[in-house]
Amino acid sequence: MDLLTSSWSLAVPRVLVCIAPLPVSLPSEDDALPPLIDRSEWEEFATEKRRIEHLGGRLLLAQALKAWWGPRATLLHVDEVEVRRDDHRAPHVHWMPGTWRREPLPSVSIAHSTGLAAVALASPGWRLGVDVEPADRVIASNAWDFFAGEEERTAFDGPQDALHAWVCKEAVQKALGLGMHLNPRTIRVGVDGFAHVNGARLEVKHLEHEGLLVGLALVEQDVRPNDPEDRILDATRKAMETATDWSIGCSTQRRGC
């Protein structure tokens, strides 16, 4: 796993970006699936390629979470975490029901490209979208219309500018948790390092790493769905804060002390 360094003008507490090769083989049918993989979702994948990508992304996510936790990784365990998708299929990490864990978990974004997986984590309350492409990929000019408006296309000084715009817009789609539900043509990437879409303002950048172009987009936005256990614990906390008499159902008193 390679860790990438990125600096931001936005005051995000912490981010982590990492890249690793995809596995070369799949678990056998008799093997247990690694943590963070949902068997029902796994069985829906129609091709070996899609399973390899999914497996590589989840294995890298497990490594990234351990790196995020650092010394606390001996107390916080990946096999107590699961990945859930929202209505737009954006992934979110949650503590499994029954663990009653309350330690905040980071937001997560996952990407794949040409034998590699990339994972981006950001502090709760923030989202960091990631996209990765070979740095020498050429997007044909007749395809620019798919993701860029006329004025933007006119400003492109060749395929490299188009590729930079593409990875940044893909990262914006993931940072906002919308994927292709968000039309990339509506995303405006400015020369000031920020992108604007539907009233949202995201800091964007690209990094080069060993022949790869990595697009990143950062926004202060908490779209993580609440767990049922979170709602129970929050309701209990509010009751404790507002009740005039919060006591255990017992009238035992200590005397003679």
pLDDT digit string, tens, across residues 190-246: 888 999 999 999 999 999 999 999 999 999 985 544 555 555 655 665 666 676 554
The mean pLDDT of the chain is 88
Q: What is the pLDDT of residue 245?
A: 57
User: One-letter amino acid identity for 119?
Assistant: V
Residue 28: CB atoms within 10 Å: 6
Instruction: Put residue 91 in one of left, alpha, beta given phi > 0 → left and psi -120 to 50 → alpha.
Output: beta
Distance CA 23, CA 68 (A): 22
Which one, of 131, 80, 121, lies nearest residue 224 by Cα?
A: 121
Which one, of 219, 218, 178, 198, lies nearest residue 85 by Cα?
A: 178
- Residue 254: pLDDT over 70: no
Q: What is the mean pLDDT of residues 153-158?
A: 88
- Residue 136: pLDDT over 90: yes
Query: What residues contact residue 102 under an 8 Å CB cut-off, 6+ apart?
Result: 95, 233
SS3 (DSSP) at 216? strand
Q: What is the pLDDT of residue 231?
A: 56
Q: What is the pLDDT of residue 253?
A: 47
User: One-letter amino acid identity for 128?
Assistant: L
Residue 171: CB atoms within 10 Å: 29
Structural domains in the chain?
A: 2-237 (3.90.470.20)
Query: 41-74 pLDDT, tens per residue?
Result: 999 999 999 999 999 999 999 999 999 999 888 8
Radius of gyration, alpha carbons of the chain: 22
Name the pTM for this structure.
Answer: 0.84
